Amino acid sequence: MSHIFLLILCMGAVTYLPRFLPLFFLSRKQLPPWLTTWLDFIPVAILSSLILPALVTGGSPRHLDIVKPELAAAVPTLIFALKTRSLGGTVVAGMGIYWLTQRIFG
Amino acid sequence: MPVRGAEKWSWAVIREGAGAAWPICLGYLPIGLAFGVVAQKAGLSLVEIGFMSLVVFAGSSQFIAVSMLCADAGFLPVIITTFTVNLRHLLMSSALAVHLRSAGKGWIALFGYGVTDESFSFNMNLFRQGNWGWRHALVVNHVSNFAWFASSVMGGLGGSLIPPGSFGIDYALPAMLICLLVFQLRGLVYVIVALVSGIAAVFISIILPGNSYVIIASVVAATTGLFLNRKMGTGEKET
């Protein structure tokens, strides 16, 4: 087996373990209520921590950059999502809004 | 907690899961194409590109790995970087676990392989709404994986022929994440947790290189939420 395939397999293994182990161990356990509550906040926390830096930072090394079409398009996309509560609709509308925003940013 | 129509495998479950997954697939398309183009330029063969997308299935770490390979980084640094970049899935799988109580070990093993930022947020939203079983979610994971695999191979084949930014498709994924975030704002405490996490993530991302900011900010924000919850309840609106 060539070097690159072995490397990919190792990458796969170290990616898989953190995905699998909590599922395996926690799905069989009765979790204490505080942990259930804590985990209930994880989705909203993860989503926000993924989205906001992508909208307001840029460059390498990273720095604040708020003049971005990504950020300008995020506000109407957010409003659209709040009003319609439609995932597919927001994806399509977001694409259109971003397309327009890029035109404006030139 | 049995969900009607989701207690066993059926064509309906597969159809519902696959049918719901299209926003994720659309979101993966431009990134998969871009990955294919970058990887091909870095000298990976089409088979290697497809193999990596199938086996690793974690976008940002694949981009980083390819750029490290270009820079002749050693075997071990690539593995360690991949591990740290993808460690955030630990939190997601912990939150998903409660919804997989009725799944067998083999299914759980298969499920773990498809946990991504997108499939996680997407499935958590539907689990909460009810009418969504782990089988549906498993189908979503694997349909998304196929979309990721197919688009990265397409990118490796001839992605450079497609002009970047066509139809604003680069924004499909951010728009989906924004909408999934909106679905998660179920009350005042959730809004506060989102603000704490987002603002903390911005500051940490400027101070620290890499993407450890996701884990750090999420842990800080969820812990803040736990304490607020004790003081004032979730403020969750009945829906």
User: Is residue B175 domain-resident?
Assistant: no
Query: Are B192 and B224 in contact, with CB atoms under 8 Å apart?
Result: yes
| B211 and B120 part of one domain | no
The phi, psi pair for A57, rounded to 5°, reads -125, 160
Into how many domains does chain B fold?
Answer: 2
- Listed by start position, the domains of chain A span 3-105
Compute the distance between CA of residue A44 and CA of residue B121 in angstroms, rounded to an integer.
8
User: Is residue B6 domain-resident?
Assistant: no
Cβ within 8 Å, pair B75-A10: yes
Which residue is listed with tokens 């089988």? B135
Nearest CA in chain A to B230: A34
B116 pLDDT exceeds 60? yes
Read off the pTM.
0.85
B4 pLDDT exceeds 60? no
The closest CB to that of A88, out of B22, B51, B65, belongs to: B22
Nearest CA in chain B to A46: B218
Instruction: Indicate the pLDDT class of residue B113, thresholds 50, 70 and 90.
Output: very high
| B53 and B140 part of one domain | yes
| CB pairs A-B closer than 8 Å | 283
| B44 and B147 part of one domain | yes
User: Is residue B146 domain-resident?
Assistant: yes
Cβ within 8 Å, pair A45-B170: no
Eight-class DSSP state of B187: B
| B127 and B204 part of one domain | no
- pLDDT at position B218, please? 95
Cβ within 8 Å, pair B178-A95: no
Instruction: Indicate the pLDDT class of residue B7, thresholds 50, 70 and 90.
Output: confident
The range of the structural domain enclosing residue B104 comes to 11-170
User: CB-based contact (8 Å) between A3 and chain B?
Assistant: yes
User: Is residue B5 domain-resident?
Assistant: no
B235 pLDDT exceeds 80? no
| B201 and B145 part of one domain | no
ipTM: 0.92
B14 vs chain A: nearest CA distance in angstroms?
A: 19
| B122 and B215 part of one domain | no
User: CB-based contact (8 Å) between B177 and chain A?
Assistant: yes
pLDDT digits (tens, 9 = 90+) for B182-233: 999 999 999 999 999 999 999 999 999 888 899 999 999 999 999 999 887 7
User: Is residue B3 domain-resident?
Assistant: no
Compute the distance between CA of residue B210 and CA of residue B81 in angstroms, rounded to an integer.
9
pLDDT digits (tens, 9 = 90+) for A74-92: 999 999 999 999 988 999 9
The closest CB to that of A46, out of B83, B92, B185, belongs to: B92
Per-residue buried b or exposed e for B114-139, using 16+ beta carbons within 10 Å of the residue's own CB = bbbbbbbbbbbbbbeeeebbbbbbbb
B46 pLDDT exceeds 80? yes
